[in-house]
Chain A
Amino acid sequence: EAGVTQFPSHSVIEKGQTVTLRCDPISGHDNLYWYRRVMGKEIKFLLHFVKESKQDESGMPNNRFLAERTGGTYSTLKVQPAELEDSGVYFCASSPTIGSLNTNYGYTFGSGTRLTVV
């Protein structure tokens, strides 16, 4: 099966600009997650979608970040306006529903988008 796809792989933007990251989960995975790793720190949870609904967005740093998941398929994470501290690697992951026959209680991660704000 195809994995989790993220693009772009790298993005360099100026402070104040807008950037949109995209994630295509594994087909059939209801759960989609966004995580972020700021330079040298741990990977931190941003939010969780179940299909098209936001289940948990407790990790979103502020209202400059907007995540959507159109029709419960792919997801976008928009940063507007970008600030220097937004630089880091943004990971997307997906998983089937816990309790479903195919679940392994784990996640499949994408390769990440490295965002640099200058």
Chain B
Amino acid sequence: AQSVTQLDSQVPVFEEAPVELRCNYSSSVSVYLFWYVQYPNQGLQLLLKYLSGSTLVKGINGFEAEFNKSQTSFHLRKPSVHISDTAEYFCAARWGSSYKLIFGSGTRLLVRP
């Protein structure tokens, strides 16, 4: 079965430091990848997506992710985080013509001053 794995349940980091949130998925065949963010008491907001083309995808709020087909990874990065980036981040994927999104278990990013 298709799956998405986020190994880090929580990532603490100091303000202005770089951060990488890891995401691995089960198969690179016809995969579409997404990162969503959930701020406290809010819904899921799309950060960025990979559909095809350039493997480096830039999203909102200075985030970017790189599609690595051979390592089946789609890690999320930001060179310098802010307190306001404190939230939970979800990696998700869908395959081929399926409409179903498969989510990872989420990573809580905690940015400290």
Contact = CB atoms under 8 A, between A and B. Distances in A.
Interface residues of A, number: 26
Nearest to A42: B105
A109 B99 contact: no
Given A105-B49, A105-B51, A112 B43 contact: yes
A102 B105 CA distance: 29
B74 interface: no
- The interface centre, meaning the residue of B90, B94, B101, B103 with most chain A CB atoms within 10 A of its CB, is B101
Contacts of A91: 43-44
A56 to B, nearest CB: 7
B70 interface: no
B contacts with A: majority SS: strand
Given A45-B101, A91-B44, A112-B43, A105 B94 contact: yes
A108 B46 CA distance: 8
B36 interface: yes
Nearest to B34: A106
B103 A109 contact: no
Interface string B59-100: 000000000000000000000000000000010101001011
Nearest to B32: A105
A107 interface: yes
A45 B102 contact: yes
Interface of B: 32, 34, 36, 42-46, 49, 51, 90, 92, 94, 97, 99-106
10 contacts: A33-B99, A33-B101, A35-B103, A43-B90, A43-B103, A56-B99, A56-B100, A104-B49, A105-B51, A106-B34
